């Protein structure tokens, strides 16, 4: 199975999660790219796409992902199997914790993508959440 992991990351945390997911999906053909460097082939050629973004400000998408979200169209993502992951701060922003995951999932549903599983929401350092990241990967 071909898997594309596309992420938006400012501080490197979401990028680290993307790399961990790649490691946990090592029995598949996996490519990882920042949404800033991604192209349509990353989506078209994949059987499954994982999209990741951290949540910034008061429930906003990470900057690179905010620029990418308009590329989530029916032509590109319609009927595509997709899962979403994100990083956030549950203590400081409990009411909008990992809101980026919800924003991306809503956008995907609006274009007819097939969401697989519940979005992964990570609080704190990725290495402190390895079990949850691995469990998410195993559902792919």
Listed as own residue / partner, the contacts of 56-62 with beta carbons closer than 8 Å and 24 or more positions apart are 56/10, 56/100, 58/93, 58/96, 59/93, 59/96, 59/99, 59/100, 59/103, 60/99, 60/100, 61/8, 61/100, 61/103, 61/104, 62/8, 62/9, 62/10, 62/14, 62/100
Q: Tell me phi and psi for residue 58, to 5 degrees.
A: -105, 75
- Spatial neighbors of 61 by CB under 8 A, at least 6 apart, are 8, 53, 55, 69, 100, 103, 104
Res 91: pLDDT: 60
Residue 90 has pLDDT above 80, yes or no: no
* Mean pLDDT (whole number) for 73-97: 82
* Mean pLDDT (whole number) for 72-77: 97
Res 55: pLDDT: 79
* Mean pLDDT (whole number) for 58-68: 84
Kindly report, residue by residue over 2-58, the tens digit of the pLDDT: 999 999 998 889 999 999 999 999 999 999 999 999 999 999 999 999 999 987 676
- Band (pLDDT 50/70/90 cuts) for residue 124 is confident
Res 33: pLDDT: 97
Res 92: pLDDT: 56
- Band (pLDDT 50/70/90 cuts) for residue 82 is very high
Kindly report, residue by residue over 92-105, the tens digit of the pLDDT: 555 656 788 999 99
Res 73: pLDDT: 97
The domains found in the chain, sorted by start residue, are 15-87+99-138 (3.40.50.360)
């Amino acid at each position: 199975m071909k898997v594309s992991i596309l992420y938006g990351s400012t501080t490197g945390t979401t990028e680290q999660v993307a790399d961990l997911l790649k490691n946990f999906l090592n029995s598949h053909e996996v490519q990882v790219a920042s949404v800033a460097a991604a192209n349509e082939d990353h989506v078209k050629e994949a059987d499954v796409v994982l999209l990741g973004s951290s949540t910034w400000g008061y429930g906003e998408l990470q900057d690179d992902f905010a620029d990418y979200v308009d590329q989530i169209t029916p032509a590109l993502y319609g009927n595509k199997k997709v899962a979403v992951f994100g990083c956030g701060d549950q203590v400081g922003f409990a009411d909008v914790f990992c809101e980026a995951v919800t924003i991306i999932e809503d956008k995907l549903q609006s274009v007819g993508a097939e969401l697989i599983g519940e979005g992964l929401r990570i609080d704190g350092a990725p290495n402190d959440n390895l079990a949850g990241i691995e469990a998410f990967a195993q559902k792919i």
